[in-house]
Amino acid sequence: MKANNIHRGSIVSIIVACLLSISTLALADPTLEQMSTDAKQWVMPGGNYSVTRFSKLNQITSANAKNLQVAWTMSTGTLRGHEGQPVVIGNMMYFESAYPNYVFAVDLDDVGRMVWKFEPPKNPDAPPVACCDVVNRGVAYADGKVIASILDGHIYALDAKTGKVIWSAVNADPLKGQTVTAAPLVVKDKVIIGVSGGEFGVLGYLSAFDLNTGKLVWRAYSAGPDEGMLFDPQKTINGNLQKPVGKDSSVSTWQGDEWKLGGGTTWGWYSYDPKLDLLYYGTGNPGSWNPTQRPGDNRWSMSIIARNPDTGVAAWAFQMTPHDGWDYDGVNENIIVDLNVKGKTVPCIVHFDRNGYCWVLDRRNGKLVAVHKYDPTVNWAKSIDPETGKPEVDPSKMTKAGVNVKNICPAAEGDKDEQPASYDPITRLFYVPTNHICMDYQAFDVKYKAGFPFVGAILNMYAASPDVRGRFIAFDAITGDTRWAINDRFQDWSGVLTTAGGVAFYGTLDGWFRAVDLKSGKILYQFKCPSGIIGNPITYMHKGKQYVAVLTGVGGWAAIGLAAGLTKGSEGLGAVGLTASLGDYTNLGGTLMVFAVR
């Protein structure tokens, strides 16, 4: 009997242990990757780690999109540019305004009720060194925390239920010209965030903070010595040449210490491949904008870099615009997709660069798969080498000190800036908000002083075609074919959302929010919002109904004249003259707009 009792007790213990184990597993937070498969939510800035900005929701279709209407709205309380998007976790929505960077938590079960509002301390040193408006590109979420980046460089982890600060960290110093405008990305237990300030001589870097403590885990610079860049000379691959980068792959391409004065800020979007365990991002312009002051290829500015998210060590790097003379920042999103290339499935990233070319790279090693113009006016390069990606620059379009170079296409704002594209896996096309603009560019010598502009160029931007400054296009990244295009009066500075209902959503700089048929490009619905749109649409499901949400609030570099009250055409780094008439069509004001089919 005693033996029997022991046996039964052991069985009971095992059963209890198993039940506790199952209970613990049930209560444990699912990973972000798992959460992103639930189309009812929008759990990351790009919707998923691949930043496809595609949703499987299909309640809104090309047949009923004409019946969309405004479901509810909410003011953000700020008037400058809103370049971000909300995230939706369960019945809660979280989003961040432009400076002073208010963070809101809204209960979707009780629309209009702010569960909490976080107001970070104001830092008056930050707005003056924000080159292109005091924008923010959104919050991140993970493990019960809302992660918010603030213009002055602070990163906050907020309790998602209460808004209380769990930890804060410092990622930038405005007195050195550094700011933070990007949306964080959480990968495992790391908060990934970059830095802005390319127009102030800031050396770019990407930082990883511990999700639970806020401690800096690693920081990787965009230029300079190998140890600072976290490059392994023998293992990090030069994607252009498909061989190890070798020792001093960056410093050897700069004259003296010029790399210290602005090499590749990292203010764009970040993506992640869990299978390869690689993080992808782009780097911005070298400093100054006068290429005569910095001979060489200026690596690794204007590049795409893949890194291990745990250590920061670079797997590979690929440079798109060596010795940049046009401010063609490479920070735009890297969309993770598997594409059919000559009958074989290739794991790719697709990047629509400021320089007017769509780059398709093998995401395992940075090897060039395809490259095509996505705007027909591109003329700074005659061609791109299909093996190495090296551009053959048109000598008549290469800028230099003391010369006003005319009719360069695209302009410095690029054929697409940070406004993110979307990939639709059903049509297998990319839906891209683009600029259609050219410029005159006069470079001059400039001296560096910490916290002061380090530009060295005067620009004049203008429409590439009469009264057309933007094009919304459906694009095949492998063939380079544009299937259809919508021409717009101003730059299309809003991001794009595509859905399984066969509908794309985007906004215009003058305030039209549109639903578009993915196959034909037909505008199915449009609504004139209170202010121009430079935010990125998202979609979610609540109580059985699909909603589409977008932040409106004109600003950013595209509308810096209107946002900052500038009137001289060459102000705003040449952007003011390009949109001089924008004030005839829209005004300032931050508003969250939410739509649904009636």
CB atoms within 10 A of CB 110: 10
pLDDT tens across 313-322, in order? 999 999 999 9
- Other beta carbons within 10 angstroms of residue 571's beta carbon come to 15
Instruction: Tell whether the model's pLDDT for residue 214 goes beyond 60.
Output: yes
β-strands 497-499, 54-55 pairing: parallel
| Model pLDDT for residues 84-97, shown as the tens digit of each residue | 999 999 999 999 99
Taking alpha carbons only, the member of 83, 164, 78, 182 closest to residue 122 is 78
- If pLDDT is split at 50, 70 and 90, which confidence band does 217 have? very high
| pLDDT given at position 369 | 98
Q: Above 50 in pLDDT, residue 69? A: yes
Residue range 451-502, pLDDT digits in tens: 999 999 999 999 999 999 999 999 999 999 999 999 999 999 999 999 999 9
How many structural domains compose the chain?
1
Report the percentage of the chain scoring pLDDT > 70: 95
In a domain, 454, yes or no: yes
Task: Please give the pLDDT value at position 13.
Answer: 38
Q: Looking at the predicted structure, is the pLDDT value of residue 359 above 60?
A: yes
- Asked if residue 325 is part of any domain, the answer here is yes
Helix, strand, or coil (residue 196):
strand
**Domain assignment of residue 66, yes or no:** no
Whether the predicted pLDDT of 11 surpasses 60: no
Q: What is the pLDDT of residues 320-347, one digit of tens each?
A: 999 999 999 999 999 999 999 999 999 9
**SS3 state at 84:** coil
For the stretch 134-172, pLDDT in tens is: 999 999 999 999 999 999 999 999 999 999 999 999 999
Q: Give the CATH number, domain containing residue 194.
A: 2.140.10.10
Within a domain: 6 = no
Contact between 365 and 239 under an 8 Å Cβ cutoff? The reply is: yes
Q: Is residue 28 part of a domain?
A: no
DSSP state of 590: -
* Triad 492, 496, 498: Cα angle to 5°: 145
112 token code pair? 């209009």
Q: Which two tokens stand for residue 206?
A: 């990407």
User: How far is Cα 438 from Cα 45, in angstroms, rounded to an integer?
Assistant: 30
Q: How far apart are CA 487 and CA 205, in angstroms?
A: 36
Residue 297 a catalytic site member: no
Dihedral sign from CA coordinates of 211, 96, 175, 192: positive
Q: Put the strands of the sheet holding 368-373 in their side by side order.
A: 335-341, 344-352, 357-362, 368-373
Burial class of residue 579 (count of CB atoms within 10 Å of its CB; 0-12, 13-18, 19+)? buried
Cβ atoms of 182 and 194 closer than 8 Å: yes
The answer to whether residue 32 is domain-embedded is no
H/E stretch holding 26: helix 2-27
3 state DSSP class of 207: strand
Q: Where are the alpha helices (DSSP H) in 211-332?
A: 226-229
Mean pLDDT, the chain, rounded, equals: 94
Among 173, 327, 417, 440, which one carries the catalytic annotation?
327
Residue 420 forms part of a structural domain: yes
Count other C-beta atoms under 10 Å from residue 306's C-beta: 27
Residue 61 lies in a domain: no
DSSP conformation class of 524: E
Do 65 and 509 contact (CB within 8 A), yes or no? no
Dig out the tokens for 63 from the structure.
């047949």
Residue 347: domain span: 37-56+71-597
* 397 three-state secondary structure: helix
Give the global pTM.
0.94
Question: Which tens digits make up the pLDDT trace of 550-570?
Answer: 999 999 999 999 999 999 999
Q: How many helices (H) and strands (E) does the chain have?
A: 4, 40
Q: Taking 50 as the threshold, does the pLDDT of residue 16 lie above it?
A: no
Residue whose pair of structure tokens reads 């410093």 in the numeric block: 251
Q: Which amino acid does the sequence have at 181?
A: T
Contact 397, 379 (CB under 8 A): yes
Q: Do the beta carbons of residue 348 and residue 363 sit within 8 Å?
A: yes
Of the candidates 146, 158, 150, 221, the residue with the CA atom closest to the CA atom of residue 186: 146
Between CA 152 and CA 173 the distance in angstroms is 7
Residue 15 pLDDT class (50, 70, 90 cuts): very low
pLDDT of residue 29: 54
| The one-letter amino acid at 522 | K
**Residues 430 and 423: beta-carbon distance below 8 Å:** yes
Burial class (CB in 10 A: 0-12, 13-18, 19+), 267: buried
Strand blocks (E) in 353-466? 357-362, 368-373, 381-384, 391-393, 404-408, 422-424, 429-435, 437-443, 457-463
In one-letter notation, the amino acid at residue 429 is L
Q: For residues 260 and 290, what is the distance between their CA atoms, to the nearest angstrom?
A: 15
Rounded Cα distance, 184 and 267, in Å: 10
